[in-house]
Amino acid sequence: MSEVRAFLMAALPNVRMAFCLAGLLLSAPFAGPARAQAPVPDTTRGDSTRVQWKRVLPPLTVTAGRLPTAPANAPTRITVIDSTALARTGAASVASVLEQRAGLFVRRYGETGLATPALRGSDASQTALLLDGQPITDPQLGHLDLSLLPTVLLRSVSVMHGPASPIHGSDALGGAIHLHALRPRSSLQVRGSVHAGAFGERGGSVLVGGPVTDRTSVLAAADLQTTDGDFPYVDEARFPPETVKRRNADRTQRSAFSTVRSRQGEHRLRLSGWVTHSERGLPPSSSTAPAQERQWDTQLRLWGRDRMPLGDGSLTVRGMTQYTRLRYANPQQGLDQTGRTWIQSLESTLRTPLTDHWTTAVGGTGSLARANHPKLDGRAHQEHLSVFAEGTGTYGRLRLYPALRTDAYWMPESRTRLPVTPRLGLNWQPVAAWPSLRLKAHVARAFRVPTFNDRYWQPGGNPDLRPERSWGGDVSLRLDRPHGHIEVTAFAQRRRDQIVWQPTGNGVWSPRNVDRVRALGLEAAGEWAWTLPAETTLKTGATYTFTDARNRTDPTSSSYNEPLRYVPRTEIKAHSTVSWGPAALTLNARYTGRRYVTSDGRQFLDPYLIAGTRLQLSHPVGGVQTSLSLDIDNVLSTDYESVGGRPMPPRHARIQVTLAP
């Protein structure tokens, strides 16, 4: 009880700060009294007609599992960033989208460097990442760089907060991030855009799609992004401090995507492919001399799905093959090494109603993963099978969401691992006269299997590592109104056998199952939309996250009960869009609290506040819908670092022109 009391006392002042920041931002676009008219449709239900020409996509389906569930009916909190919201942010990558709109922290190693998520006190390897329901996390590294995923190829992004291993298997201790790729339509789609900005930023994208026959549609898209990354920053390591330019921070990325959707009898088929190639410099920390390190990333994915009716339900079979290649070169150290990974996976799911109250989804998955790298043992591969069952039970105002999953992993010279992960969730309307008020509760077990680097890196790899394990739960209260919704969540999690690399005494570092972690937190999120006089619409939203994640491993250690490294206690994000005729103005702001950089809690990075704005004008020109947008990022020119020694750009602008016949 004393821990909970101290946690609440620490969180309450930040809640007041969250409401102050959200109120200031959300009221900024429209000053003066106005009478609310008919509500604007919620962005989670579909696109507004005014921006359909830019991202014309089918209605979004949200899932908290393999059974379709709307966010209001889900047993846990789900954040949805639909196609309209993606367009409003102007973000080029999934990293930037999540940074602006999702209730999680994105750890960025500079503007062009690695970007990974941290959800509810977890790290990058403890958050599952899925593309159209298929896991795409790198089995060697345990994470995937979010900056390598361009938003132009996506129709939506959703985040499931809380343990998700009973649904998605390994890695989902903190939650799961779902990426939903573009789909072909039965009508012609053509769109092209170009952009240019500060510090040598330029690029463009093109999309073409449409029907081939009355049963088959195709879509193809390509994207190019490049930047010099030579922004100025203050180097505090110099005496006196001096403004210098970032060097060796250039980056060029090319992506291509294609997909085919077809109806053949009772079968609903879809086949997709995605390739990305990136080359970038790896600038050193701001206090060291310039280096010439380079990195090349190549990612190739092919995936497909077949859905067919079976009895009163449906059978879905889907599979994916993924190949990644990462080359690292450091001329100063004489290094030029290339690592490769391969994943093949297959899943079959049967969805069927059992009774008037229950609908179930049962099935199994199988996968093969292997890696090749000069520093990896040649045995770096694993085989995996799982069986799962989940259900949705409806009893009047009460919905139940049980799930159970068993995974089996076979690894060379290691014991077979058989984690079992149950889940129980509920969604209850406690007041019959007020059906828009919902109480959610969710408890689940989660796990993460060690990466290939953890098990097979030479020297130091430990093939006897156990999977990380956790129990977590949350309770939410959600209120839906005609103009929007608000949801407040309290969560708790305990993790054990967390893998930490430690020195062995002979100059070699090796991973061990040693850490225990306790995480408590509060989350609040809401979105609202109004139609105002003079054909003006206002859409606003805000998220607040308070996370108290602490090391509970060794009471005699200086790190005991200290905050985890690079987990901000407080994050506040707010956004607002005012649309009037052909114009739309979007404001974004986010506050990130203190991040500790040492395990004993003695050193930390200062909090920062970042604001941005986007002005978009659209008008038909000669039968072509034309959009001109101006983005200004870091309007306040805040000097900040997401990770120590990795400065981020000052205020800068970008202009974009989009054409859609």
- Tell me the sheet residues that pair with 442: 425, 474
| pLDDT score for 526 | 97
Q: Which domain holds residue 236?
A: 2-660
- Tell me the sheet residues that pair with 232: 245
pLDDT digits (tens, 9 = 90+) for 145-179: 999 999 999 999 999 999 999 999 999 999 999 99
Residue 294 has pLDDT above 60, yes or no: yes
| pLDDT score for 35 | 32
Residue 414 has pLDDT above 50, yes or no: yes
Q: Which residue has the higher pLDDT, 9 or 291?
A: 291
CA distances from 191 to 142, 194, 195, 510 (A): 35, 11, 14, 51
The DSSP code sequence of 477-496 is EEEEETTEEEEEEEEEEEEE
How many separate domains does the chain show? 1
CA distances from 156 to 86, 123, 357, 512 (A): 7, 23, 31, 38
- Would you say the C-alpha torsion 91, 97, 101, 106 has a positive or negative sign? negative
What does pTM read for this prediction?
0.89
The DSSP code sequence of 189-203 is EEEEEEEEETTTEEE
Q: Which residue has the higher pLDDT, 32 or 531?
A: 531
Residue 253 has pLDDT above 90, yes or no: yes
Residue 505 pLDDT level (bands cut at 50, 70, 90): confident
Pairs from 455-460 (Cβ < 8 Å, separation ≥ 24)? 455/380, 455/411, 455/414, 456/371, 456/376, 456/377, 456/379, 456/380, 457/375, 457/376, 457/377, 458/375, 458/376, 458/377, 459/508, 459/510, 460/501, 460/504, 460/508, 460/509, 460/510, 460/511
Q: Which residue has the higher pLDDT, 28 or 241?
A: 241
State the chain's mean pLDDT as an integer: 89
- Asked if residue 320 lies in contact with residue 303, where contact means CB atoms within 8 angstroms, the answer is yes
Residue 91 has pLDDT above 80, yes or no: yes
- Asked if residue 245 lies in contact with residue 229, where contact means CB atoms within 8 angstroms, the answer is no
pLDDT digits (tens, 9 = 90+) for 15-62: 444 434 344 333 333 333 333 333 333 333 333 322 232 333 333 345
Mean local confidence (pLDDT), 178-192: 95
How far apart are the C-alpha atoms of 424 and 441, rounded to whole Å? 8
| pLDDT score for 287 | 67
Q: Which residue has the higher pLDDT, 22 or 424?
A: 424
Least confident of 63-67, 369-373, 378-382, 386-390: 63-67
Residue 285 has pLDDT above 90, yes or no: no
| pLDDT score for 19 | 37
pLDDT digits (tens, 9 = 90+) for 587-646: 999 999 999 999 999 999 999 999 999 999 999 988 899 999 999 999 999 999 999 999
CATH number, domain containing residue 432: 2.40.170.20
The DSSP code sequence of 536-563 is EEEEEEEEEEEEEEEE-S-TTSTTTTPB
Mean local confidence (pLDDT), 253-270: 97
